[in-house]
Structure 1
Amino acid sequence: MLATGAAGGLLASYTLLPLPYMLGSLIATAVLSSVTGRRFPEGYKFPQSIRLIFLAVIGVMIGAQVTPDMVAMLPSLSVSFAALTLFVGLAHAGNYAIFRRLGGYDRATAFYSGTPGGLMESIAMGEEAGANLAILTMQQFLRIVLVITVLPIGLSLWLGAPVGSAGGMTLARADVDLTQLPVVIAVGALGLGVGKWLHLPAGQLTGPLFVAAAVSLSGIVPLDMPQWLINEAQIVIGASLGMRFGGLKGRALARGIGLGLISVCLMMAIAVVLVVLVHDITGAPFDMLLISFAPGGVTEMALIALSLQANPALVTAHHIYRIILTVIEMSVIARWNRRHG
């Protein structure tokens, strides 16, 4: 499966597909699981210990984007953050209605499929709540795939040039050597321990994220990650999630794609309305605000910001806020549901 995922990621890297290593790996292993899944040994699944390590890598990568410059600009983002708070609530409520009423999903699957952010956190918490993991994974990835594919393509057509990862942008430094790995490993391991100790939601991801953010803000040591490590993490995560598509049939996939399109259209419509309001109030650039509100991946949206000569730290601040807010919202509602049945 890892070999299949690596091959899929490598092939996708030669295309204009955003986040090629993760999406290429996921697509390749999902196809293999769907076609040959019945021939796998009983209980065959991706080793969680391997997945855990690379989830921590992704968490460190995201947390490392939290810088003192980003924190310094937070007071000036009060209006857009308030609008983003409204966006999370409206988008999640609308998505839940779509997946519950139109899709007929059970409550847990509809709830965690409809979150407008926090892909890994939603999958981890949905697994604990008994959601259908194949459907949940499909809907969450469709959200990201549709947003980070359609939005960059639309902006590329508008600007007349590729944007984001398709335009060669990257958040990793090319000159990072192996001497940086011990720091990344230490931060990831400490984050895993903190996440478990504090019982954080999706602690295997959020723990390393928060520890990496603290280290990055302290300025004690740099948190530079080589591109090859980020690529490997995307391949592993893509393969581990793609394997869960084995139980889905063609009809379920077609229905999921249809629901995903409706969901993304709803979220983007809500985002555009709120972005127009924030733009009128603050005068911030419309395109920068749009990629800040788009419910896609943190990395790809930051890369699009680089393509537009916008401040990637500002865009990343919005997306990290959206993810953290979504995780808090999921946790609060999940605990309320457990107490009230």
Structure 2
Amino acid sequence: MPASRSLGRSLGLWALLIAASGILAYALALARFPAALLLGPMLAAIAFGVRGAGIALPKAPFQAAQALIGCLVAHAVNAEITGTLLDDGLLILLVVLVTVAAGAVVGVVLTRMRILPGTTAAWGSSPGGAAAMVAMAEEYGSDPRLVAFMQYVRVAAVVLSASLVACLLTDTDLPAGAGQAVAPAAPLGSVLATLAIATLGAGIALALRLPAGALVGPMLLGSALHATGIASISLPAWLLDGAYAVIGWYVGLRFTRETLRETLHAFPGIAAATLAVIALCAAWAFGLTRILPIDFLTAFLATSPGGFDSVAIIAVGSKADVSFVLAVQTLRLFVVLVTGPILARWIARAAPPDPAVRG
């Protein structure tokens, strides 16, 4: 009986979460927010998580949603991205390095102020894929709860700020957001091929233990097949809507009351650091508009410090230059994955001596 009662409670909470997500997503869609179907579920899940609802989304659905977003990104990847990297490669690398440097500076400040331990501050402030940073932080001995808290606070802040900027700068009659990037009547053969690419790409990447493999694998495989014309990427709107919602729930439900209680003393520093990184990237984005013939929305999304899947959804659903945004975001993801361990050790060495040890 207790087990059935617990199951009934969980199902009831999920029904309430789905209803609240739908209401919020619809309201945001009416306000013409890009990625409303991601933002609405995420905000609803944050409220449920912080209030101690006690429900969580398993990792498998999240990885499946990431695989679909990887295919969505692959749909937008073509020869233009390669051309963008070739034409503006040095500048794109500079954009990436500035964003990574901003995260490193924030990590050093948090460490010097004793708000967080050195390696935890390093991984938490790294502007890469949140799931990949949490996984790598745990492997290198950092507190994964604090890292996850920092990463997902930043993801939430980036999604909110990027959605707001896109809403203000995008004049569109397509309120739902990213779903319009894919044909509403997707051919069955193309849909099945896309699902096969998602499954195969994610399976290979996860077997090879690539960071963020569920997203990166389908993105790389799908991009190669789609750009060469070997396969056509097609995703029906309802499937993408489900993927957006799953990612929003997975991120939002991580904001639990217990995590907030454990990290309450660090929250002001984490919030200030998050806003500082976003502000630095926004200032750099404004500078890019003076250097390159791109609009501010494109520059802002390109320099936004994660998460990759959320920014990709917003970019595809707005009037941004998707090829430039994805080129910068993809390159930065790999740069962060390579430099992460080095920066973590460097930031850890910047920590002041422990007074207890010195005494």
Instruction: State the TM-score bracket (shorter-chain normalisation).
Output: 0.7 to 0.9
- How big is the shift at 1:75? 1.6
Can you list the C-alpha shifts for 1:44-100, whole angstroms capped at 9, x where unaligned? 854333333223222222233321222123221124213213213312212312443
Is 1:318–2:303 an aligned residue pair? no
Select 1:119's aligned residue among 127, 130, 139.
130
Q: Secondary structure at the match of 1:63?
A: helix
**Greater mean alpha carbon deviation, residues 220-229 or residues 179-188:** 179-188
Kindly tell me the number of residue pairs found equivalent between the two proteins: 325
Match of 1:299 in 2: 313
Match of 1:27 in 2: 43
Asked if 1 retains the 8 angstrom alpha-carbon contact of 2:110 and 2:116, the reply is yes
Asked if 2 retains the 8 angstrom alpha-carbon contact of 1:100 and 1:107, the reply is yes
Extract structure 1 runs of 4+ deviating beyond 6 A. 334-337
Ranges in structure 2 where 5+ consecutive residues have no aligned partner: 1-12, 348-359
Select 1:214's aligned residue among 224, 233, 243.
224
Asked if 2 retains the 8 angstrom alpha-carbon contact of 1:26 and 1:241, the reply is yes
Select 2:246's aligned residue among 225, 236, 240.
236
Letter in 2 for 1:200: L
Give, in whole Å, the separation in 1 of the partners of 2:57 and 2:82: 38
Alignment of structure 1 residues 168-187 onto 2, 5 Å: 168=177, 170-187=180-197
Asked if 1 retains the 8 angstrom alpha-carbon contact of 2:202 and 2:213, the reply is yes
Q: TM-score when scaled to structure 2?
A: 0.75
Letter in 1 for 2:340: M
Select 1:193's aligned residue among 171, 181, 203.
203
Give, in whole Å, the separation in 2 of the partners of 1:150 and 1:241: 16
Asked if 1 retains the 8 angstrom alpha-carbon contact of 2:35 and 2:317, the reply is no
Cα–Cα, structure 1 residues 61 and 89, in superposed 2: closer, same or farther, change >3 Å? same
Alignment of structure 1 residues 18-167 onto 2, 5 Å: 18-36=34-52, 46-102=57-113, 104-154=115-165, 156-157=167-168
Asked if 2 retains the 8 angstrom alpha-carbon contact of 1:152 and 1:162, the reply is no
Tell me the percent identity: 23
Asked if 2 retains the 8 angstrom alpha-carbon contact of 1:96 and 1:110, the reply is yes
Asked if 1 retains the 8 angstrom alpha-carbon contact of 2:78 and 2:223, the reply is yes
Match of 1:9 in 2: 21
Q: Secondary structure at the match of 1:73?
A: helix
Can you list the C-alpha shifts for 1:160-201, whole angstroms capped at 9, x where unaligned? x65798575542322225443321221122112321343312
Give, in whole Å, the separation in 1 of the partners of 2:216 and 2:270: 28
Give, in whole Å, the separation in 1 of the partners of 2:44 and 2:285: 37
Match of 1:223 in 2: 233
Q: TM-score when scaled to structure 1?
A: 0.78
Bigger Rg over Cα = 2
Give, in whole Å, the separation in 2 of the partners of 1:240 and 1:300: 18
Cα–Cα, structure 1 residues 101 and 267, in superposed 2: closer, same or farther, change >3 Å? farther
Cα–Cα, structure 1 residues 216 and 334, in superposed 2: closer, same or farther, change >3 Å? farther
- How big is the shift at 1:141? 3.0
The Cα RMSD (Å) is 3.5
Cα–Cα, structure 1 residues 69 and 165, in superposed 2: closer, same or farther, change >3 Å? same
Give, in whole Å, the separation in 2 of the partners of 1:191 and 1:88: 28
Q: Secondary structure at the match of 1:14?
A: helix
Asked if 2 retains the 8 angstrom alpha-carbon contact of 1:201 and 1:331, the reply is no
Can you list the C-alpha shifts for 1:19-51, whole angstroms capped at 9, x where unaligned? 3333333333333333345xx5xxx85433333
Cα–Cα, structure 1 residues 194 and 87, in superposed 2: closer, same or farther, change >3 Å? same
